[in-house]
């Protein structure tokens, strides 16, 4: 409202602009209140737990809490020579408490991960402490150093010092097959033990190819569905929608039946003479099975966005292109294809994101070479119970997905995603 | 899609090969579902078509595995089905209530921070399931809800609401707000207006979102694997265990029932979609 005009008043004598603003604020609050229940629910049960995952993944407070006096004393130690008497005294009093609480085993386990050889020397020290062999009147440094020669090795004290910070990025490094070396440098795991890198690459590879196959198969049928007359296309649409609504496990089960060695696909290959009856190829429990089953399962997610975009493209555009002298191929490539790019983007994004986090189908038909990063996360959650490592890998995967999502949003825009 | 008479041969060839490719893809999509039907009526224990079945010998077919599914001793399917339905129904109701309310707020033109809130609300759909599973498990373990029906229902509400939010927001984009204003000006209170005017108009969207939520819950296995104890076993968990250990024909009988269920859901979703488009005045 411009200031030159006279202020318009409502019947109550309040300026109209004020009154309108008030009404608008009321509407804003009303709208917001409707969203609040779901928003709060999701924040508490979902968003905060993802934050909790992050805290777990970097948490390393165990040793920090076990050896408080040691670490206070270590603050003055330069970390090059053997630590001074106070560090030993602090360590001894911390250790006595741990022995009383029977927690020295946990400490040994954790420190042994930091540097090999801690297990045995902590056990030795434990026996000495239990038998009250250590005389608190004399130099504790001398006595501890006598327990085992490794207690005289400065590298072990450096290893203890490294566990002092309450947070660590070690789990993330482990997820990339790296670790902290003795002097705090980042080191690579030996080449034959780099399992996680193989899994990341395999996950990317499978997600990429499944997306590619889905695109190559989905594009023609989406085009056919969009151009056929309604009464035919509705019928064919069932072929896309029925698998979409059918249980994932049912579809995986049917692929397990089809692809088994005595299965129908192999029967067919034998029938047409492609393979010999006694030499049926193994199509399950390897990558082939994973590709085939995942492509079929994710194909509807490609077809539906493509279809909804193609449906809006007027057929007269292609006709115009052809009438202006383009061959059908040129007309398709120059006119139709560019118009379908939002659909391609949405379909590929959906399939890629779904494929990269896939777990069930690879676990059932993938065998050893079909294991993906999600399987590894589930394995650490359920079997090794290394939850902080599972969290770290989960968050690395999530970061990857969010990057893909962000790039897509920049390129195409998220608003184009439609559900069937 | 008949070709005009003047079409050159090479385009004719291309056109038919295109149709052939499409036919192959359609078969690839739908055929796996049909393999399960005949095999679930197999009289034998093997998961291959026996000679008798190939010759359509009536003795080669039986309802044996269906009987085993229902009456079989130590068979977990009854409990699993009961749990699955209970969990899915409650999760659907929860998703519908929370999702519809949120969608109503999000469709209001006064809604502040629309983008970021929408992104938060549909995030469970974008985040890979395994990560959702881990996060939800941490929450439920802390809240003491792991291995309870309540915990699984809450988890499925998390996963189901994005679908309701999306479908109901889509329905509301074509919504004519003057009808609710008319109701208010005629003296109706907001709750009454919602129940009598808005809800009937957006009902198709609500129900189809609810169907999505139902199917998501009914078919969900990743999160349940983390959360469920022995008491909370569901159909997907039983299938997962069965498929991992040994593929038995009983699983195929269950699978057949699930395919029939999904066909029913598909038909109702399609009918609803058409009705919704008709109500919103979209004609194709």
The reply to whether A285 and A379 lie within a common domain is yes
Q: What residue spans of chain B are helical by DSSP H?
A: 9-40, 51-54, 64-71, 77-107, 114-126, 129-143, 149-173, 178-185, 190-193, 199-219, 222-227, 235-245, 249-279
- What would the mean pLDDT of A28-44 be, rounded to a whole number? 92
The reply to whether B55 and B153 lie within a common domain is no
Q: How do residues A60-95 score in pLDDT, each as one tens digit?
A: 888 888 888 888 888 888 777 888 888 888 888 888
In a domain, B111, yes or no: yes
Report how far Cα B148 is from the mean position of its chain's Cα atoms.
Answer: 23
> In chain A, which among 388-407 make CB contacts under 8 A with chain B?
390-391, 394-395, 397-398, 401, 405
In a domain, A39, yes or no: no
In a domain, A288, yes or no: yes
User: Residue B2 — very low, low, confident or very high, per pLDDT cuts 50/70/90?
Assistant: low
The reply to whether A107 and A214 lie within a common domain is no
> In chain A, which among 232-261 make CB contacts under 8 A with chain B?
236, 238-258, 260
How would you class B254 by CB atoms within 10 Å of its CB: exposed for 0-12, middle for 13-18, buried for 19 or more?
buried
Whose CA is closest to B229, among B143, B149, B139, B144? B149
pLDDT at A295 over 90: yes
- What would the mean pLDDT of B158-168 be, rounded to a whole number? 92
Decide if B169 contacts A418 (C-beta within 8 A).
no
The reply to whether A136 and A201 lie within a common domain is no
Cα of A112 to nearest chain B Cα, Å: 28
Query: What is the rounded CA–CA span in Å between residue A274 and residue A272?
Result: 6
Cα of A196 to nearest chain B Cα, Å: 17
In a domain, A20, yes or no: no
The reply to whether B126 and B234 lie within a common domain is yes
pLDDT at A10 over 90: no
In a domain, A178, yes or no: no
- Tell me the average pLDDT of chain B: 86
- Of residues A24, A46, A262, nearest to B158 (C-beta): A46
Q: How do residues A137-162 score in pLDDT, each as one tens digit?
A: 788 888 888 888 888 888 888 888 88
Cα torsion through B229, B231, B237, B240, rounded to 10: 80
Count of residues making up chain A = 420
Beta bridge partner(s), residue A180:
A186
The reply to whether B22 and B89 lie within a common domain is no
The reply to whether B125 and B168 lie within a common domain is yes
pLDDT at A126 over 70: yes
Q: At what angle do helices A16-42 and B114-126 cross, to 10 degrees?
A: 20
Q: How many domains does chain B have?
A: 3
In a domain, B284, yes or no: no
Report how far Cα A337 is from the mean position of its chain's Cα atoms.
Answer: 33
pLDDT at A2 over 60: no
The reply to whether A296 and A230 lie within a common domain is yes
Q: Which residue of A has its CA nearest to B261?
A: A246
Query: Which of these ranges, A2-16, A43-57, A237-251, B20-34, has the smallest mean pLDDT?
Result: A2-16
CB contact under 8 A, A258 and B35: yes
The reply to whether B59 and B161 lie within a common domain is no
The reply to whether A311 and A209 lie within a common domain is yes
In a domain, B80, yes or no: no
The reply to whether A156 and A256 lie within a common domain is no
B49 or B198: which leads in pLDDT:
B198
User: Residue B282 — very low, low, confident or very high, per pLDDT cuts 50/70/90?
Assistant: low
B131: domain CATH number is 1.10.3720.10
The reply to whether B19 and B45 lie within a common domain is no
The reply to whether A236 and A279 lie within a common domain is yes
The reply to whether B54 and B31 lie within a common domain is no
CB contact under 8 A, B239 and A250: yes
The reply to whether B165 and B272 lie within a common domain is yes
Query: Looking at residue B37, what is its pLDDT?
Result: 83
User: Residue B284 — very low, low, confident or very high, per pLDDT cuts 50/70/90?
Assistant: very low
Reading the block at residue A348, the tokens are 């590929």
Decide if A325 contacts A396 (C-beta within 8 A).
no
Helix (H/G/I), strand (E/B), else coil: A59? strand
Query: Looking at residue A420, what is its pLDDT?
Result: 40
- Of residues A53, A230, A405, nearest to B126 (C-beta): A405
Decide if B104 contacts B96 (C-beta within 8 A).
no
Question: Which residues have CB under 8 Å from A314's CB, separation 6+?
Answer: none
With an 8 Å Cβ cutoff, is B265 touching chain A?
Answer: yes
The reply to whether A223 and A357 lie within a common domain is yes
In a domain, A190, yes or no: no
CB contact under 8 A, A42 and B117: no
Q: How do residues B60-78 score in pLDDT, each as one tens digit?
A: 777 777 877 777 766 788 8
Reading the block at residue A210, the tokens are 């499944």
In a domain, B152, yes or no: yes
- What would the mean pLDDT of A296-307 be, rounded to a whole number? 91
CB contact under 8 A, B126 and A353: yes
Q: How many CB atoms lie within 10 A of CB B139?
A: 21
Q: Which residues of A touch B130 (CB under 8 A)?
A: 357, 359, 374, 377-378, 394, 397
Helix (H/G/I), strand (E/B), else coil: A183? coil
Q: How many domains does chain A have?
A: 2
Query: What is the rounded CA–CA span in Å between residue A293 and residue A257?
Result: 11
- Of residues A31, A256, A390, nearest to B108 (C-beta): A31
pLDDT at A279 over 80: no
In a domain, A27, yes or no: no
Question: Which residues have CB under 8 Å from B126's CB, separation 6+?
Answer: A353, A401, A405
A202: domain CATH number is 1.10.3720.10
Query: Looking at residue A1, what is its pLDDT?
Result: 46
CB contact under 8 A, B163 and A419: yes
CB contact under 8 A, A30 and B110: yes
The reply to whether A246 and A290 lie within a common domain is yes
- What would the mean pLDDT of B40-44 be, rounded to a whole number? 79
The reply to whether A302 and A385 lie within a common domain is yes
Range of the domain at A388: 196-416
Q: How many CB atoms lie within 10 A of CB B282?
A: 9
Q: Which residue of B has its CA nearest to A237?
A: B26
> In chain A, which among 304-343 make CB contacts under 8 A with chain B?
311, 328
Q: Which residue of A has its CA nearest to B102?
A: A35
Cα of B265 to nearest chain A Cα, Å: 8
User: Residue B95 — very low, low, confident or very high, per pLDDT cuts 50/70/90?
Assistant: very high
Q: Which residue of B has its CA nearest to A364?
A: B244
Range of the domain at B59: 41-75
Decide if A227 contacts A306 (C-beta within 8 A).
no
In a domain, A44, yes or no: no
Q: Give the domain-ending residue among A166, A186, A214.
A: A166
Q: How do residues A168-211 score in pLDDT, each as one tens digit?
A: 888 888 888 888 776 667 888 887 788 888 889 989 999 999 99
- What would the mean pLDDT of B215-243 be, rounded to a whole number? 89
How would you class B9 by CB atoms within 10 Å of its CB: exposed for 0-12, middle for 13-18, buried for 19 or more?
exposed
Which residue shows structure tokens 């890198």? A197
- What would the mean pLDDT of B144-152 be, rounded to a whole number? 90
Query: What is the rounded CA–CA span in Å between residue A419 and residue B267?
Result: 16
With an 8 Å Cβ cutoff, is A264 touching chain B?
Answer: yes
């Amino acid at each position: 409202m411009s200031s030159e005009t006279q202020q318009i008043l409502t019947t109550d004598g309040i300026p109209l602009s004020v009154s309108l603003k008030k009404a608008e604020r009321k509407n804003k609050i009303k709208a917001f209140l409707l969203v609040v229940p779901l928003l709060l629910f999701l924040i508490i049960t979902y968003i905060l737990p993802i934050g909790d995952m992050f805290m777990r993944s970097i948490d390393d407070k165990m040793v920090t809490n076990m050896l408080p006096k040691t670490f206070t004393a270590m603050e003055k130690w330069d970390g090059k020579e053997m630590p001074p008497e106070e560090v030993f005294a602090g360590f001894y009093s911390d250790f006595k408490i741990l022995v009383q609480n029977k927690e020295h085993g946990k400490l040994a386990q954790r420190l042994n991960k930091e540097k090999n050889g801690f297990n045995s020397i902590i056990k030795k020290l434990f026996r000495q402490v239990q038998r009250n062999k250590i005389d608190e009147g004399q130099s504790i440094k001398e006595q501890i150093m006598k327990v085992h020669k490794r207690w005289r090795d400065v590298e072990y004290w450096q290893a203890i010092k490294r566990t002092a910070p309450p947070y660590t990025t070690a789990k993330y490094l482990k997820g990339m097959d790296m670790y902290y070396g003795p002097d705090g440098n980042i080191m690579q795991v030996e080449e034959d033990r780099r399992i996680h890198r193989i899994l990341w690459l395999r996950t990317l590879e499978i997600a990429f190819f499944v997306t590619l196959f889905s695109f190559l198969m989905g594009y023609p049928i989406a085009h056919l569905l969009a151009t056929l007359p309604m009464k035919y296309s509705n019928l064919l649409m069932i072929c896309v929608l029925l698998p979409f609504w059918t249980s994932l496990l049912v579809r995986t089960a049917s692929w397990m039946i089809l692809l088994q060695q005595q299965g129908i696909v192999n029967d067919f290959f034998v029938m047409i003479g492609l393979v010999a009856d006694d030499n049926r190829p193994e199509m399950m429990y390897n990558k082939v099975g994973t590709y085939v089953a995942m492509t079929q399962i994710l194909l509807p997610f490609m077809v539906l966005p493509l279809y909804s975009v193609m449906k809006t493209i007027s057929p007269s555009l292609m006709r115009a292109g052809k009438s202006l002298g383009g061959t059908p191929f040129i007309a398709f490539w120059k006119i139709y294809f560019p118009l379908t790019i939002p659909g391609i983007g949405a379909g590929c994004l959906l399939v890629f994101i779904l494929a990269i986090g896939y777990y069930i189908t690879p676990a059932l038909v993938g065998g050893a070479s079909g294991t993906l990063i999600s399987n590894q996360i589930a394995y650490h959650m359920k079997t090794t119970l290394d939850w902080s490592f599972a969290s770290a890998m989960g968050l690395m995967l999530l970061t990857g997905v969010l990057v893909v999502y962000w790039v897509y949003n920049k390129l195409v825009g998220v608003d184009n995603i439609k559900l069937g | 899609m008949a070709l005009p008479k003047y079409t050159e041969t090479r385009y004719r060839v291309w056109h038919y090969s295109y149709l052939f490719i499409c036919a192959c893809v359609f078969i690839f999509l739908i055929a796996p579902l049909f393999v399960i039907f005949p095999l679930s009526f197999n009289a034998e224990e093997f998961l291959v078509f026996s000679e008798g079945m190939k010759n359509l010998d009536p003795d080669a077919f039986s309802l044996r595995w269906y009987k085993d599914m229902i009456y079989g001793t130590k068979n977990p399917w009854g409990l699993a089905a009961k749990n699955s339905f209970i969990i899915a129904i409650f999760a659907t109701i929860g998703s519908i209530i929370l999702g519809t309310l949120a969608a109503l707020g999000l469709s209001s033109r006064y809604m502040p921070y629309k983008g970021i809130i929408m992104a938060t609300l549909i995030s469970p759909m974008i985040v890979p399931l395994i990560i959702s599973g881990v996060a939800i498990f941490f929450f439920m373990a802390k809240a003491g809800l792991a291995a309870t029906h309540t915990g699984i229902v809450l988890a499925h509400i998390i996963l189901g609401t994005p679908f309701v939010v999306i479908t109901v927001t889509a329905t509301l984009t074509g919504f004519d707000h003057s009808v609710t204003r008319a109701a208010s000006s005629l003296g109706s209170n907001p709750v009454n207006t919602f129940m009598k005017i808005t809800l009937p108009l957006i009902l198709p969207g609500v129900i189809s979102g609810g169907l999505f939520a139902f199917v998501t819950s009914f078919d969900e296995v990743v999160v349940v694997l983390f959360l469920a104890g022995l008491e909370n076993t569901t159909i997907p968990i039983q299938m997962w265990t069965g498929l991992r250990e040994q593929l038995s024909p009983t699983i195929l009988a269950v699978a057949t029932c699930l395919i029939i269920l999904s066909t029913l859901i598909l038909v109702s979703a399609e009918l609803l979609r058409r009705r919704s488009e008709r109500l919103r005045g979209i004609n194709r």
